[in-house]
Chain A
Amino acid sequence: MKLRIAGGRVYDPANGVAGEVRDVCLDDGKVVPDLPADAMRIDARGMVVMPGGVDIHAHIAGPKVNAARRLLPEEHRADVHDRSALMRSGTGGTVPSTFVTGYRYALLGYTTVVEAAAPPLAARHVLSELRDTPMIDALFLVLLGNNVALFDLIRRDPARVRDAIAWWLEATGGYGVKLVNPGGVERWKRGIGKVTSLDDEVAGLTPRRVVETIASAVHELGLPHPVHVHCNNLGVAGNWRTTMDTLATIEGRRAHLAHLQFHAYGGRPGGRMRSRAPDIAEYLGAHPEFSADVGQVMFGDATTMTADAPVSERLRDITGGKWVNADTEVETGCGIVPFTYREKNYVHALQWGIGLELFLLSRDPWRLVLSTDHPNGGSFLSYPRLIRLLMDRDFRNEQLRLANRRAIERTVLFDDLDREYTLEEIAIVTRAGPARLLGLRDKGHLGAGADADVTVYDERADREEMFATPRFVIKGGRVVVRDGDLVEALAGDLLRVAAPYDPAVEDVLRDRFEERYTVQFENYPVREPWLLEPARRVPAGRPA
């Protein structure tokens, strides 16, 4: 299908285009330099044209997400989605059903989403849900930071770690490597307490050694996305030191830090939380090998869900409400606690403020990108409001005045942060930046050869309204949203990495499997073609 998006103001930061009026031409699922004059066209005059949104860190599929769905019937009753000629029915809330997740991302102008924490043992479950999540291209990161079989290898045969990681990615259909509270979940599962420093002992290793070894291995494999780290001590006052220590440990290799806001706290453990966002932002700015997503919290309902089960245990004790814990053998934990962020609450307001500080102090939008850690800090549906907070100083200051005063006074938000994000910067933090950090060369830009994923917004002064209801969304060259309505439902692709490994590693792993897992080694890798195909492979290999 040929399509010309004509006369819009185009924001394509990866190609240096910042609001120029020009045409974007699409043919056969790709962006092309030009099209015959008689090609179908969308009149985009007065509109803003950007690449489709790319969510670098969300929780949308797999056993953890589904355990949360099952926990929230009251949210689902309040937010139903009817079946139509195009769409399957479903339910919404902070953790929507799979179909609704896909539709709502598309209606928001997002076309690529990362499921950020998949237990490799559950890969078939993750893939099954992704096959039922329409509209978006999806990829997932596999949890390897508390895998005791891999820990064995790190201790006894570290030279094999690289091959083992590539094997795990191939076995699951995964895209990249995620570490969650490295070593800390295993330590907690052993009942010997929580990790508080990178030098605590667990299974004959330390978090530092785990982070260092796996970050190096991922770096050497040349995976398109570097190791994606949820640091130790999430949510704990004073944890900024752990975050800095983690970065210092990885220095010289690449890494992406997940939901940085939750790791930027000063104060003493157990004491009153403070902001250390300025220090973290400063450090990040000075280290081009590192990137992060913010993990902004938004006031209102959220559902916390994490492989960091010890964190959920603490949240359970705060809310006293519903709580799910699920331990996965060898690999990980999982905790779920429904949570409401309240603007008058000191801690919640401070978390909100720290997220905004990180955004507003960021020197390089390419390396500090937008997320709410959906649905941990808030639903992806709150991105438009977050964008307005970044783009509209008056609105932000109004909201600041509503939040807990003592908390906001602990931030620098009222001092001199009158920065307003430009549309170009928004295009960077919501699509161009995440795509580049993920190593997705065909995503996040509108140069010739890019995937024909495009979002067209009406230019509106109210940025929240503007970004909440794109006028057109084009996925793979097909118009899927027109005038704010979904007009075509289609399946997205699975994006997976291709990272070669020495098959000899299988013999090494087989022995560890028989001892540790309750699933046979031969049955562990996903082999069902309907789960793995169709997929697009992104090759590993060091950038030239």
Chain B
Amino acid sequence: MRSHDAADASRHRAATCGGCGLVCDDITAVLDEHGGLERLDRTCPLGHAWFAERLAPAPPVARIDGREAELDAAVDEAAAILATARAPLVYGLGRTTCEAQRAAVALAEAIGATIDPAGPLLDGASGLAYQARGASTATLGEVRDRAEIVVVWRADPVVTHPRLLERLRLPHPTRTLVVVDGRRTATAERADAFLEIPAERDVETLWTLRALVREAPPAPSGASQQPLDDLAARLRACRNVAILHHVRGHVEALGLHALVRDLCSVTHAVTVTLRHEANAAGAEDVLAWQTGYPAAVSFAGGHPRSSPGELSAPAVLDRGEADAALVVASDPLEHLPAVAAERLRAIPVVSIDAGDTATARAARIAFTTGAPGVHRPGVVHRLDGVPIGLRAVLESDRPGDEEVLAAIAGRIARRGGDAA
């Protein structure tokens, strides 16, 4: 920025990107003379689309049944729906700030809701594996500066986290990038080695690798073992291994954590989950610090109770238990399993989102908020847990997610007070 003249520099804004779990914080937003966005520097295609979506003409701040409404009236109506629900569900949270997440958990508690971040559905069930055995993990800088072998396990960051390889300085002449996946992905194209293994063989593969890195004779398997022998030998021989993954199943996650733990007795090994949403990690963190559990928490009994599976959002919807839903910064109609999505369509939904989603369009009440990272500041936890302060680069008079949540909570508290 020092090279620009003052007038020019005043139009350059340091910016942050919420397009994926990487939360790149080296973006520059260049404004035009009217304070609008002229250009973004260093965004990837995903980030560019993320900004564009949030700069597109937005629906009214508040809608009831799809029609524009006064903010106050919509808050009233949302409060009425949530306060009178017998078993409300709070869902989403991965694309909003920790501040809004804190407000969402407070609201969920106040109405005795079940709250489940979208993260476990979108990014896999490694939470259970973590609770069972723990994990070894690291921030991105550790992976970049120390990992001699980076294994990308069933993930395609070139597509989902376009700047990941650049930020990890991969490929690299003296470090090795290995991809394990069911097909030759875009990331595999850039790797030093590619192991083609179908997803259904994950468990068997992981257990074979465990045996190999421990130098125990592996159980015989149908597959050719040579590539795994080679990988195990490489892993054993290097000083630092990072496995970046996006496994979806509980058993697979357990296998991965177990492999890393085995590796830790011969070398230094870590895993990082390549979470898709910018603040999926924060949603689990906030829920954990307020309740002790990272996901699938019910407040129905007056205190937190967690039971992943039983109390996860798809299960609660499947069983037809939820009779109203508050969806925060998420589009479950796009990603829930079909049955759960149908159930969600059948109950009153309150949507709070900076974007115009299918869920918002179908919602009974929809709030379109100022976007974190564009119009609003706030903290998010990057996929490796590092907290990043999002910057607001543009003006907006729309309320943020946390303000709408606080307004609804306030209205509900007053209703409770009136009733008493």
Contact = CB atoms under 8 A, between A and B. Distances in A.
Interface in A124-141: 124-125, 128-129, 132
B291 interface: yes
Nearest to A75: B292
B304 A327 contact: no
Contacts of B240: 191
A313 B25 CA distance: 33
A97 to B, nearest CB: 5
Interface in A300-343: 313, 322-330, 336
A125 B285 contact: yes
A63 interface: yes
Interface string A243-257: 000000000000000
A528 B389 contact: yes
B33 interface: no
* Interface SS majority for chain A: mixed
Interface stretch (B74-82, B132-140, B349-357): B132-140
A493 B388 CA distance: 23
B294 interface: yes
Interface string A83-99: 10000111101011111
A70 B98 contact: no
Contacts of A526: 389
Nearest to A330: B141
B336 interface: no
A72 B132 CA distance: 9
Interface in A59-73: 61, 63, 65-66, 69-73
Nearest to B167: A518
Given A69-B289, A70-B284, A526-B389, A329 B145 contact: yes
Contacts of B141: 329-330, 516-518
A494 to B, nearest CB: 16
B110 to A, nearest CB: 8
B304 A329 contact: no
Interface string B270-311: 100000000000001110111111100001001111100000
A71 B134 contact: yes
Contacts of B136: 323-326
A97 B292 contact: yes
Contacts of A416: none
Contacts of B294: 70
Interface residues of A, number: 59
A97 B306 CA distance: 14
A523 B25 contact: yes
B84 interface: no
A69 B141 CA distance: 25
Nearest to B133: A322
A151 to B, nearest CB: 14
A325 B14 contact: no
B379 A121 contact: no
A309 to B, nearest CB: 9
Nearest to A337: B134
B267 interface: yes
Contact of B288 (A69, A82, A528): A69
Nearest to A323: B134
B387 interface: yes
B181 interface: no
Nearest to B269: A325
Given A80-B304, A189-B268, A527 B389 contact: yes
B24 to A, nearest CB: 9
B315 interface: no
B134 A523 contact: no
B71 interface: no
Nearest to B385: A63
A264 B139 CA distance: 34
A518 B102 CA distance: 26
Contacts of A124: 379, 387-389
Given A97-B289, A191-B268, A89 B388 contact: no
A64 B146 CA distance: 21
Contact of A189 (B137, B146, B264): B146
A328 B270 CA distance: 12
A398 interface: no
A461 interface: no
Contacts of A531: 379
A81 B285 contact: no
Nearest to A325: B136
A72 B292 contact: yes
B302 A327 contact: no
Contact of B25 (A73, A336, A520): A520
Contacts of A69: 288-289, 292
A326 B289 contact: no
A544 interface: no
Interface in B288-341: 288-294, 299, 302-306
Contacts of A325: 134-137, 264, 270
Contact of B130 (A63, A70, A121, A330): A70
A50 B196 CA distance: 68
B68 interface: no
B204 interface: no
A415 interface: no
Interface centre among B264, B293, B303 (most CB of A within 10 A): B303
B293 A73 contact: yes
Given A76-B304, A81-B303, A91 B389 contact: no
A522 B389 CA distance: 10
Nearest to B146: A189
Contacts of B386: 121-122, 518-519
A136 B353 CA distance: 35
B312 to A, nearest CB: 14
Contacts of B302: 82-83, 89
A125 B282 CA distance: 9
A90 B290 contact: yes
Interface in A105-148: 121-125, 128-129, 132
A128 B270 CA distance: 26
B303 A91 contact: yes
A125 B134 CA distance: 20
Given A329-B142, A518-B144, A132 B289 contact: yes
Nearest to B379: A124
Given A518-B144, A518-B167, A520-B26, A88 B131 contact: no
A66 B291 contact: no
A413 to B, nearest CB: 36
A96 B290 CA distance: 9
B412 to A, nearest CB: 14
A72 B386 CA distance: 22
Nearest to A322: B134
Given A71-B131, A82-B302, A191-B239, A91 B387 contact: no
A327 B303 contact: no
Contacts of A91: 291-293, 303-304
B261 interface: yes
Given A89-B299, A91-B291, A98-B290, A71 B109 contact: no
Contact of A329 (B16, B133, B140): B140
A76 B293 contact: yes
Given A325-B270, A518-B386, A70 B291 contact: no
16 contacts: A80-B304, A81-B303, A89-B304, A90-B292, A124-B388, A124-B389, A125-B381, A125-B387, A132-B289, A189-B142, A322-B134, A325-B134, A325-B135, A329-B141, A329-B145, A520-B14
Interface of A: 61, 63, 65-66, 69-73, 76-77, 80-83, 88-91, 93, 95-99, 121-125, 128-129, 132, 189-191, 313, 322-330, 336, 516-520, 522-523, 526-528, 530-531
